[in-house]
Amino acid sequence: MKTEVLIIGGGPSGLLLSQLLNKAGVATVVLERTTRERVLSRIRAGVLETGTVSLLKDAGIATRLEKEGLPHDGCYLSDDELMVHVNFYELTGKRVMVYGQTEVTTDLYSAQDDMGTTIIHEVEDVAIHELDQKTSFVEYTLEGQRKRIDCSYVVGCDGFHGVSRKTIPEDARVEFERVYPFGWLGVLSRTPPANHELIYANSSRGFALCSMRNENLSRYYIQVPMSDTVEQWSDEQFWTELKLRLPSETANNMVTGASIEKSIAPLRSFVSEPLRWGNLFLVGDAAHIVPPTGAKGLNLAVSDVYYLHQALIAAIKHDVQTDINAYSEKALSRIWKAMRFSWQMTTMLHQFDGEDSFAGQMRKASLSHLARSETARRDLAENYIGLPF
């Protein structure tokens, strides 16, 4: 088999890239390790930046998003004393859209079906070859048989644990990493959201977040030690702890119910540079991870796709190489700014084990500064709604 762009990974990055390339008449094949059902069972953050929504519109997959997505004008940040509202719309003229990543991925799969693109599921042992030649090829195993696809470009959209990044020789890449000493215990429940906007809560008992999927589906998180297990947390214990970390008015009025999903996720900041090696390009979680405080993960993957789809179209359709040569530098410049924002939000809102009393005072002063300074709120808003592509 032969194609123009071989995409490894059928998560949101791979599917969106495939959608935009096929729309422009560039042929792709997507290789995905698992089933469509497994991809769609992952629950991830649900806040889309304005730029993300625009690109999804351009890709022709925003019909349901525009109907069912919840536009949010702002969010709250709280501690044991303050509850600060940051009004994105007043401060920047822009809103964010609350719409789950699972829904985005569902819409992408159905658009890809309509276009009749090739997505091959349950492939094993993907191996990338001849990245320094004019054409490259990728091998994989499907139902016990070894297969080969020749292509002009390979794009690694295969997440943090994928093969693409590791194909780049170790001495040709630099990795930057910070692992945070706690995780997020997340619960999904069929209950009305605690507030019409998101609440990021820093309390003396640790971080908590109130988020949502729709008017009867809520998503909550609390900071827990990474050594905790889901089994250790009954629904009742979760709700009790969550309420203790929220402003009392919110806690007293919130509706609780049975959890329909419960999981613990680690928090990590990670960047691997460069994003290009010969004919291979890295996109999304394959190249970078952010902690979820600030909901930048999917949005960053989408800005990578924005830069790369244009660059690949210019190279393939018009034989112009300038943009593919600039891809790594251009994408990394935006990635590092989102890294900084996610790290800062994480540091400002979480308790770190063994921290000194100074750290708590810094968090308190940060929130008090946000409460009093419009400039500080505008800075947060500008980053939250998403820096320009």
Provide the binding-site residues for ligand PHB, judged by CB under 6 A. Answer: 45-47, 198, 211, 219, 292-295
Instruction: Assign 66 to helix, strand or coil.
Output: helix
Q: Cβ of 37: how many Cβ atoms within 10 Å?
A: 8
Decide: 122 and 34 in contact? Cβ < 8 Å: yes
Smallest separation, CB 13 to ligand APR (Å): 3
Residue 50 binding target from ligand APR, ligand PHB, none, CB below 5 to 8 Å by type = none
> Does 126 participate in binding ligand APR (rule CB under 6 A)?
yes
Q: What tokens does 138 get?
A: 């990728």
Torsion angle of the four alpha carbons 172, 389, 221, 176, in this order, in degrees rounded to the nearest 10: 20
Q: Specify the stretch interacting with ligand APR by CB under 6 A; choose among 4-12, 80-88, 186-194, 233-241.
A: 4-12
Residue 21 vs 201, nearer CB to ligand PHB: 201
Smallest separation, CB 325 to ligand APR (Å): 22
What's the one-letter identity of residue 97?
M
Kind of pairing, strands 280-282 and 276-277? antiparallel
Smallest separation, CB 211 to ligand PHB (Å): 3
- H helix or E strand, kind and range, residue 74: strand 74-78
C-alpha–C-alpha distance, residues 136 and 37, integer Å: 30
Residue 18 vs 218, nearer CB to ligand APR: 18
> Does 183 participate in binding ligand APR (rule CB under 6 A)?
no
Q: Binding string to ligand APR for residues 47 to 86, with x set by CB under 6 A, is what?
A: ----------------------------------------
Smallest separation, CB 11 to ligand APR (Å): 2
Residue 85 vs 121, nearer CB to ligand PHB: 85
Residue 47 binding target from ligand APR, ligand PHB, none, CB below 5 to 8 Å by type = ligand PHB
Residue 163 binding target from ligand APR, ligand PHB, none, CB below 5 to 8 Å by type = ligand APR
Query: Could you tell me which of 64, 307, 274 has the C-alpha nearest to residue 176?
Result: 274
Residue 31 binding target from ligand APR, ligand PHB, none, CB below 5 to 8 Å by type = ligand APR
Residues that are catalytic: 72, 200, 292, 296, 384
What's the one-letter identity of residue 113?
D
User: In the 3-class helix/strand/coil scheme, how is 99-165 assigned residue by residue?
Assistant: CCHHHHHHHHHHHHHHHCCEEECCCEEEEEECCCCCCEEEEEEECCEEEEEEEEEEEECCCCCCCHH
> Does 294 participate in binding ligand APR (rule CB under 6 A)?
no
Decide: 84 and 247 in contact? Cβ < 8 Å: no
List residues near ligand APR by CB under 6 A.
8-14, 31-34, 39, 44, 101, 123, 126, 157-159, 161-163, 284-285, 297-298, 301
